[in-house]
Structure 1
């Protein structure tokens, strides 16, 4: 039996794992990380690479190491050119990824890795047991649920029936490749859609690129105001005892569907050059005929393309719902009206079951899903470990 089991090896799970190991709260032999992919952060690296992200939105101090200056020192040590960009020194994506993987190697996270998909979680007399897709079972005294939200992409209602079509894909879908020719229509208005629009617009083999967004561009430097990282806003947040009100505060605090000023300027450049057409409005209907898609917007405008790519984010559901729901019912785990966990200050849900990422946001606040949130979660869990 392991001492700690982390389900999910993305940004959240890897951050917690490296901190537990570096602070010697657990040995490599006592820790296991279960993830569907072969390496840490594989989904993150795949998606950000696919859309052509070059620099992160978050600043230099937001990374997975405990030392806040670690990434800056890493850039200097490895002599990266143009390591950071802008006032807040946003790091190069490739450098950030290499820093993460080197950290995973140094702290021993790679030695605790087990590739597999969890099908069942259950409480045992001395801890917890998970059953994997190969029917094997793993037991541990404590479990951390670090499941990302991007496993369930959001499809607009009018496109739901086309999920299985090869010509329509979602950027969060690991199995579908982006189109490399034809007339491409992108749906979405946030950072992911913006990066993707610029990447496809620079591809000379693609005849045309259209970007459809529901609202005018929203320009914000970060996902949420930096005040949510500390007492400025979090003191008031923790004084709110209604989890329904906390959910509303999280929703209002997040700059969903927004882009940075740099990315906005880049999008406008492609638009001025005629490589990108931008449209604002809701999609009324979509019809596929003989491999061509016809999208009608509210107001009557009609667009046609050979491929549709969705950058519409994740479905608004609790991650891991299919195998977490039975545990919630069996153990009567406390949940808020939105269905998400109500946890203690240590992020413990009940009897050695802990949460990270989106599952921890009713305690951590609006930044929970981000890199800064991963740092906060890892600090909180190791503090009480």
Structure 2
């Protein structure tokens, strides 16, 4: 799609409202934002209420005529439909409207293609794009295909042969991408196993695109430090396509990993959910999810529903969830405040991070034990170990050793139980 500064594409958005719900209007608004994220200037919108979409044209014939007039009047280059269109619908609409027709899925795939920076994200987007294209090859060369008559390979039409060659090419490319992604997924699994072996708990940031997940991650890193650089933080749809995992070390020596994941969106193409499954597994394997919500958006409840549905799709439905209601400064609600598993904060202002951490600690470190140990002087390295890996609340030097009151992991408590004193 053309994205040059000199010649911006002009587009019209179109949609059919089949359930007369409020969600439809938000979906159309979001489609406009997606188009603009793709460098298309939206010049108009056309919607229709129907009990079901038209099988051949998606919209009614009269409405398509109206759309054609709007395209001519606005000199539009492209019409963007809010739902995924069938190959025949795209073909029929392009013929009737005499301009390029794309659907929401193509638009999202295009944005993902632009944003993908790492090898894994690029492979995932390419695979989703090819899987989307495969059924849409049908009919592309239908006119050529009919030229050949009779039976046998020699008599087949050039178009049919070309179609099959293209199909085979795409299928073999998908198989290759699948193998490459499986290798990366295996590396990710090995890293996850290593983390589990080290007993480091994991929290994953999930939520709608542009809710502020990366801002929350960076606010945590700035507040507490830890391992790794900050992540890309930008006010745009799908700024993050790769899972970034960073280590957060709290002042009381408690440490956990925080994963930033790809944002969700309404009607996220299922090919993309499938392609990004290995990336999203970071969320499914976490100990707790932090559902970041843009509470300043009037549609935040719809966004929450979409996120919860997508989490159910990837098998992360049963995990404990902390709700981080972000952008509270823009929503005009009182912040920082925490009640149960809900926290109101402004990640951009770095206000409410302490409250969020408090709720996270309750979930991630529930197995920590407070105890007093008497460590003989000749076991000095144990004192160093607890100073490094536990919160040492009090240190006393007694005749027969060092007395430490600590808050430590249960497995450390079990391991050094013999030193525990009443």
Instruction: Report TM bin, short chain.
Output: under 0.3
User: Whose relative contact order is higher, 1 or 2, with alpha carbons under 8 Å and at least 6 apart?
Assistant: 1
TM-score relative to the length of structure 2 = 0.23
Greater C-alpha radius of gyration: 2
TM-score relative to the length of structure 1 = 0.25
